[in-house]
Amino acid sequence: MKPLITLIQRRTLLAAAALIAAPALALAQTATPIKFQLDWRFEGPAALFLASTAKGYYKAAGLDVTIDAGNGSGGTVTRVASGTYDMGFADMAALMEFHANNPDAANKPVAIMMVYNNTPAAVLTLKKNGISKPADLNGKKLGAPVFDAGRRGFPVFAKANNINGVTWTSMDPPLRETMLVRGDIDAITGFSFTSQLNLEARGVKAEDIVVLPFSSYGVKLYGNVIIASPKLLKENPAAVKAFLSAFVKGAKEVMAKPDEAIATVKARDGIIDVALETRRLKMAIDSVVASPDARAEGFGQAVPGRLALMASQVSDAFNTKTRVDPGAVWNPAFLPSKAELNVLPPAKK
């Protein structure tokens, strides 16, 4: 017969081990699967989302997050609406358009966090084309894919800058910058940090590129937001809040050390040009994530008045079936605390 003290010690050790293992076992059993789609390929800015996967922040929050590349904001909105994905990253204008053109849709995605406080949309051209300001675009030939956010929002830019007589040439995304370099078109629309680097990759010197950002010429459209399906918001609001908290934790580290963070993108697409995508990430952070407007309004937030103006502008520019209801597309109830949202790096002097 074993001494009483030995039995007591064994039982105590077993009980302690059970207590230690219980939280991990419970987490493994209750991890909520979240399918998330980006707006585009695995390029530099994707690090903002991938970092929290690499660091285990989603997992620690009780989530099993899968992040897939996208092929445009419109597609991301549609796939979240269909239930193929639970959440995604998409242009606010594309989300507004979906709402206004599908008023009877049963599962219209909702924006729950602002990431690109300013639209990255811009008009880009070459110095040799003699275009240095919006007025110079009158009567010019512009090119972009039909679904390009800059092209879709161009009527807002044109109205703000009295631009008339523009004609459009459509093409697949890989040909956009090529056609500009060849002289087939006078200018293009696109995300500034995408098209500028694509032009440089085609041999154009940075000093020979002219960039006219929408946000610098009277167009204060919001850019990309995190969207979620109403089904997920209703059935598991805790998981949505956990996702956003884990995301901002990783995003803060990405903005603090973008050179290190790019490794998370390389891990998903081994053939990326690391130097190029690091530049793209830094450009995105400086121009639309940690922009002066983002600092004034607060990371993750949207100002009601500005959102309402954008809703009106999108309704007009996209000629939607119904008017965009800003209250239906935006829900800030799931945002982390103000302290958690304090993620922007110090302003550059």
Residue 95 pLDDT more than 80? yes
Name the pLDDT band for 14 (thresholds 50, 70, 90). Answer: low
The mean per-residue pLDDT over the stretch 5-32 comes to 55
More confident of the two residues 6 and 66: 66
What is the share, in percent, of the chain residues with pLDDT greater than 70? 92
The mean per-residue pLDDT over the stretch 305-315 comes to 97
**Confidence at residue 341, expressed as pLDDT on a 0 to 100 scale:** 98
**Confidence at residue 22, expressed as pLDDT on a 0 to 100 scale:** 46
Query: Domains of the chain, with CATH numbers?
Result: 30-118+222-334 (3.40.190.10), 121-216 (3.40.190.10)
Residue 79 pLDDT more than 50? yes
Report the C-alpha gap between 298 and 296 in whole angstroms. Answer: 6
Lowest-confidence region among 3-17, 132-146, 245-259, 275-289: 3-17
Report the C-alpha gap between 263 and 261 in whole angstroms. Answer: 5
Residue 120 pLDDT more than 50? yes
User: What does the pLDDT look like over 194-228, one tens digit per residue?
Assistant: 999 999 999 999 999 999 999 999 999 999 999 99
Residue 60 pLDDT more than 70? yes
**Confidence at residue 348, expressed as pLDDT on a 0 to 100 scale:** 84
**pTM score, two decimals?**
0.89
The mean per-residue pLDDT over the stretch 243-262 comes to 98
List Cβ<8 Å contacts ≥24 apart for 338-343. 338/298, 340/245, 340/248, 340/249, 341/248, 341/298, 341/299, 341/300, 341/301, 342/299, 343/248, 343/251, 343/252, 343/255, 343/299
Pairing of strands 63-68, 224-228: unpaired
| CA neighbor of 88 nearest in space, from 78, 97, 98 | 78
User: Is residue 304 exposed (0-12), middle (13-18) or buried (19+ Cβ within 10 Å)?
Assistant: exposed
Residue 255 pLDDT more than 70? yes
Dihedral, CA of residue 29, residue 51, residue 88 and residue 175, to nearest 10: -140
Tell me the average pLDDT of the chain: 93
The mean per-residue pLDDT over the stretch 278-284 comes to 97
Residue 27 pLDDT more than 80? no
Report the C-alpha gap between 50 and 66 in whole angstroms. Answer: 10
Give me the residues paired with residue 36 across strands. Answer: 67, 87
